[in-house]
Structure 1
Amino acid sequence: MIDFLFLDEGLCFSCKKERVYKYKLCKDCLDKLDYIGNKFDLSGNTCYSLYFYNDFMKRLIADYKFSRNTSLKEVFSDMIYRFLVDKNLTDFDYILASPSSKKTVNKRGFDHINLIVDDFSNKLGIRKLDEFKKIKNTKSQHTLNRLERGENLKGAFKLDKDIKGSRILLIDDLITTGNTALEIIKELKYMGASEVVTLAICSESSIN
């Protein structure tokens, strides 16, 4: 795993040129993001999305996930933390980072959502649900149609822990059709969770 080091930590974590304004980003980079901060229903479950998945957000996430600019975890962590505190969304028993398979983590070199959650869960004083795992190597969702996406994820997740009556906050980077979140929620509720609230850093317009 590669951590990008800055000669001046006061510089934007994205462009690395201008001074930090908010969320470790400069004002110019922050202005390129399309904030929505909306709440919507996902098949009877509450879901929040912070930003629209525009071109700049796509580049920001790709830089983090695929170019291994792991310092960007602080950008996404700050965004989520401030939103949760501002909206008073902190009354949860567990936080769950949407899990990747071992194959994906080994290929990428790090668990990208888990790093983000690590960065803010302690500040909120909420335990992570580390026992929830992805046990199936699935195909990339973006390569499949809507029906295939649902089939692709069946039986992909497993939890070996008693969570009866627990309220759980599920964190992911992107929500499109919602199939991944719904499959995770299905397993959590089967294991006894009373409520699962999903928060995605960004979403496509079709889900809102």
Structure 2
Amino acid sequence: MYTKFKQSFLGKGICEAIDGLLEIIFPSESVCANCGRIEVYDYGLCKECYFEVLNKSIFSKVQRNYPIKVEFDEVYSVCRYEGLPKEMIRRLKYKEKVELANVFAKFMVDVINNFNIDFDIIVPVPSSKKRIRIRGYNQASLIARNISNLTGKKVLECVEKIRDTKSQTLFKDQNRWYNVKGVFKCSTDLSGKNILLVDDVFTSGATAHFNSVALKKSNAKKIIVLTFAT
């Protein structure tokens, strides 16, 4: 891929100069948000990346067996957490490819429209303050704000992560539930509101559940979880 080619054979300073020149000649709207190819087919992706995402897509309601009674009401996701979608999430999280948040949002709005999901407020799953200081942003918030731009619905960052935890990727099964138990807090009254809880990936359901516990304690009526991958 073009981006990997640059990183492999050119220095950082030269790459930045080339990127600046390309931005003048080819505006960012003409560049694939994922691979950097100077081509956009749809949703900010080149044809190859777009169809790789579609090949992993499920556009469905997620059905799982949980070890406890969960507090969220429904879960929807765009695609399976494998292949290119998995790599795209890692690029958004760890490689500062923030433009991918808009790509994810466009696919996620398709799910909203396909299933006629009714909600009042968009709430992103929070990161800890320490994680935001290190990374510079919360990827769920970026996705949520792009969904807001596309739907006109308000984003409310009302859930706080009150204690830093180890990454959920380090745990399996039951241990994921213990890792995030009791770490989320909501101080905003959400009486009668249907909440769209947004994150990048849905795995065990632990993070979504304990966010939903906090939201239900604040009188949220219904919680619909929406992620890019599962």
Aligned to 1:40: 62
C-alpha distance in 2 between matches for 1:105 and 1:187? 21
Whole-Å Cα distance in 2 between the matches of residues 154 and 56 of structure 1? 31
Q: Where does 1:162-173 land on structure 2 (aligned, <5 Å)?
A: 162-173=189-200
Q: Does structure 1 retain, via aligned residues, the 8 Å contact 2:159–2:214?
A: no
Q: How does 1:1-208 map to 2 (within 5 A)?
A: 7=23, 8=26, 9-33=29-53, 34-41=56-63, 43=70, 45-89=73-117, 91-203=118-230
Q: Which has the higher helix share?
A: 2
- Work out the CA distance in 2 between the residues paired with 1:184 and 1:110: 19
Q: What root-mean-square deviation, in Å, do the aligned CA atoms of Structure 1 and Structure 2 show? A: 1.8
Q: Report if the CA contact (8 A) 2:77-2:108 is conserved.
A: no
Query: How far apart are 1:140 and its partner, in Å?
Result: 1.1
- Between the aligned partners of 2:41 and 2:149, the Cα distance in structure 1 is 24
Distance 1:37 1:50 in 2: 4
Unaligned stretches of 5+ in structure 1? Answer: 204-208
Separation in structure 1 between the aligned mates of residue 36 and residue 226 of structure 2, nearest angstrom: 28
Give 1:28 shift.
0.8
How far apart are residue 107 of structure 1 and its match? 0.6
Q: CA deviation at 1:95?
A: 0.6
> For residues 145-199 of structure 1, what are the alpha-carbon distances to aligned partners after superposition, in whole Å with 9 as ceiling and x for unaligned?
3222111111111111111121100011111111100111111112211110001
Flag the structure with larger Rg.
2
TM-score, normalised to structure 2, is 0.80
For 2:113 and 2:164, how far apart are their aligned partners in 1?
Answer: 35
2:62 match: secondary structure: strand
- Measure how far apart 1:41 and its partner are: 4.1
Which amino acid in the other structure matches residue 39 of structure 1? K
The 3-state SS of whatever aligns with 1:70 is coil
Distance 1:196 1:72 in 2: 25
Whole-Å separation in 1 of the counterparts to 2:124 and 2:96: 18
TM-score where L is the length of structure 1:
0.88
Q: Distance in 1 between matches of 2:44 and 2:150?
A: 17
Deviation of residue 130 (structure 1)?
A: 1.7
Number of aligned pairs?
Answer: 199
Which residue identity is paired with 1:87? Answer: F
Does the CA-based 8 Å contact 2:159-2:211 persist in structure 1?
no
Decide which structure has greater strand share: 1
Higher mean Cα deviation, 35-44 or 139-148?
35-44
d(CA) in 2 for partners of 1:84, 1:101: 28
In the TM superposition, what is the alpha-carbon distance from 1:19 to its structure 2 partner?
1.8
**1:69 is paired with a residue of what secondary structure?**
coil
